[in-house]
Amino acid sequence: GSRRSNCRLTTANPASTMKIVLATRNPHKFREITAILGDLGVEWVPYSTLADAPVLKEEGSSLRENAAAKAEGAVAFTGCVALAEDSALEVDALGGAPGVRSSRFLGEGATDDDRIQEILKQLRTYPWHGRTTRFRCVVAVAQPGGPREFAEGVCEGYIAWEPRGTAGFGYDPIFYVPEYRQTLAEIGPALKNRISHRAKALEACRGIL
């Protein structure tokens, strides 16, 4: 349609399916998103690989604001349909923290392990029933001249006593999923990509795409 022709990215095959820009710098998220939605028959373009692409800011006060800002920034630069997501770990005992600041918890220089150890430290006196938590993901889809669309997914769990598993990233090693008696870093990508917050949000936006 007319919106598809606005895309300014060149392609080796002019007859190929439409392009969707994934507005993320995180290679783990890119792999998950393209695995979950890989059957849509679109060409996924990682925004981080585009020459001279401006940095997409995450300065909003909500996941929705951040996802929308990233998606719209990618549309403005490429003229293509763009998908972005923002995710948060919400720990009930910490009043929902780290929340929207999950990836920036402890500052820009902190590692995933630094953030995990700080969460465990803050919860060291809490019993199991007081360690409830959830992952929340908001996906935004933006297109040239069109409305923004959103989808959300939530995965409920507990903060584990210690990190377990090596298959995940971010807070996955301490996110215990009671139905499977494992952390998201233990259950492996195939199952995670069916039950995670990101998987649920992406499945909910299939109709949008």
Collapsing DSSP states into helix, strand and coil, what is residue 32?
A: helix
The DSSP secondary structure of 161-183, one letter per residue, reads SS---SS--TTGGGEEETTTTEE
Cβ pair 98, 170 in contact under 8 A:
no
Tell me which of 86, 113, 114, 172 is the catalytic residue.
86
User: Is 86 a residue of the active site?
Assistant: yes
Neighbours of 134 (CB within 10 A): 17
Cβ partners under 8 Å of residue 198, min gap 6: 29, 32, 33, 36, 85, 87, 135, 137, 153
Chain center to CA of 50: 20
Tell me the Ramachandran region of residue 79: left when phi exceeds 0, alpha when psi lies from -120 to 50, beta otherwise: left
Q: Which residues are catalytic?
A: 86
